[in-house]
A = this chain, B = another copy of it.
Amino acid sequence: MGLAGGAGGFIGRVHRMAASLDGQIELACGAFSSSPERSRQAGAELFLPPERIYGSCAEMVAAERQRPAGERMDFLAIVTPNHLHAEIARLALQAGFHVLCEKPMTTSREDAADLVRLVAASGRQVCLMHNYSGYPMVKEARARIRAGEIGAVRKVVVEYPQGWLAGDFASAGVKHQSWKLDPERAGGSCCLGDIGTHAFHLAEYVTGLRVEELCADLSVFVDYKPLEDDANLLLRFDNGARGILYASQISINDENSLAIRVYGGRGGLEWHQEEPNTLIAKWPDRPREVVRTGCGNAYLHPEALAACRIPAGHPEGFVEAFANVYKAFAEAIRGSWTNAAPLPGGHDFPKVEDGLRGVAFVQAAWASQRGGQKWTRVQA
């Protein structure tokens, strides 16, 4: 694969660890920074040959395209600030490369819709890095709901509190990711684009439902920031289910506390990202169950088992979930797989349409906010 961005921050490192985890994907080239010098340096540290370290994505796409089949990158992973996603994805797709992209896919609904069209036209794939969908217990939850085990979904509570933007700008953690606070580069949203989209995708992914309408109350609590750092939303799903979604960056000491609770007519499910290997199953008339990640846990659905690497009790974490998205995407673009059919082995990955929905979600939330926090349709 090729890598666009990823020289700074922690997420570039996560992409590299995740992509290579199973020994099936190799980092072949990259344009790691908008500064050619930093790009060279980053590439050298990654043992890349100088000729495949590029000063820009345009250069990378053009050069890789010229290489012989089998010697060029198979796909391009985009780990840049948000405002660059659309253009780089377009370049890559048009040049015939598959694309893996960080969320949010784009900073405008139009760009997102454009990528959907481009995928259809090009026959290439876009994988959106909703890495939380890669956890085995998230896949177990989805499989159980799809199999009807908790009955029709009535209510969804999804939350994503973080605390890293609760303080002042000088704090180190903030500085390294300052583009996330820049309306231009972040795309008009901070909290929703950065983590709200993950919560939104998780809710739709796990339930198989679609959010039709939302009512949003967005806030800016910390002065120096122009963009929302806290978002509380009410949701309505297409089957009549109700929901709450909240994302926050001012929830001090909450680290990365994405969690989801789904209640159906016959049972419920609960999952917390910070204890990712546990899924709580709730029943009306018997004790709740503690469902666990583990490649020997035969009671799991096949989709969940396929996402496990080691036996229960040997904690699998963030990188493994991330790697599951890479693995499924790699299988998809390696095989004769097309969008229409399920991947073999129950694997799956978030697609360009998920990217569009995420962008539409952020836009609907801001439209609700600007219009007086009224109910607003999610259009995607």
Contact = CB atoms under 8 A, between A and B. Distances in A.
A155 B217 CA distance: 12
B284 A292 contact: no
Contacts of A20: 20-21, 23
A20 B291 CA distance: 30
Interface stretch (A50-58, A260-268, A339-347, A350-358): A260-268
Interface stretch (A86-94, A108-116, A199-207, A313-321): A313-321
Contacts of A221: 154-155, 265
B155 A230 contact: yes
Contacts of A166: 263, 265, 284
Given A287-B289, A373-B375, A294 B255 contact: yes
Contact of A313 (B23, B154, B255): B255
B17 A46 contact: no
A46 to B, nearest CB: 6
Nearest to A299: B286
A292 B317 CA distance: 15
A178 interface: no
Given A217-B234, A311-B10, A315-B276, A268 B292 contact: no
A315 B317 contact: yes
Contact of A251 (B155, B167, B215): B155
A22 to B, nearest CB: 7
Contacts of A268: 163, 251-254
Contact of A298 (B255, B285, B294, B313): B285
A380 to B, nearest CB: 22
Majority DSSP secondary structure for residues of A touching B: loop
A261 to B, nearest CB: 8
Interface string A303-329: 000000111111111111000000000
Nearest to A150: B252
A313 B21 contact: no
Interface stretch (A28-36, A62-70, A97-105, A242-250): A242-250
A219 B234 contact: no
B248 A313 contact: no
A363 to B, nearest CB: 19
Contact of A255 (B215, B257, B292, B309): B292
A288 B251 CA distance: 13
A155 B281 CA distance: 28
B311 A257 contact: no
Given A234-B373, A374-B374, A253 B314 contact: no
A37 interface: no
23 contacts: A10-B310, A10-B311, A20-B21, A21-B21, A150-B252, A155-B248, A155-B250, A157-B246, A164-B311, A173-B311, A215-B217, A215-B234, A215-B373, A230-B242, A234-B373, A253-B288, A254-B282, A256-B312, A285-B299, A287-B289, A309-B319, A314-B317, A373-B375
Given A164-B296, A319-B320, 18 more contacts: A10-B309, A17-B21, A154-B230, A154-B250, A163-B268, A217-B234, A232-B243, A232-B244, A252-B268, A253-B267, A253-B268, A254-B313, A255-B292, A256-B313, A287-B289, A287-B299, A315-B318, A316-B318
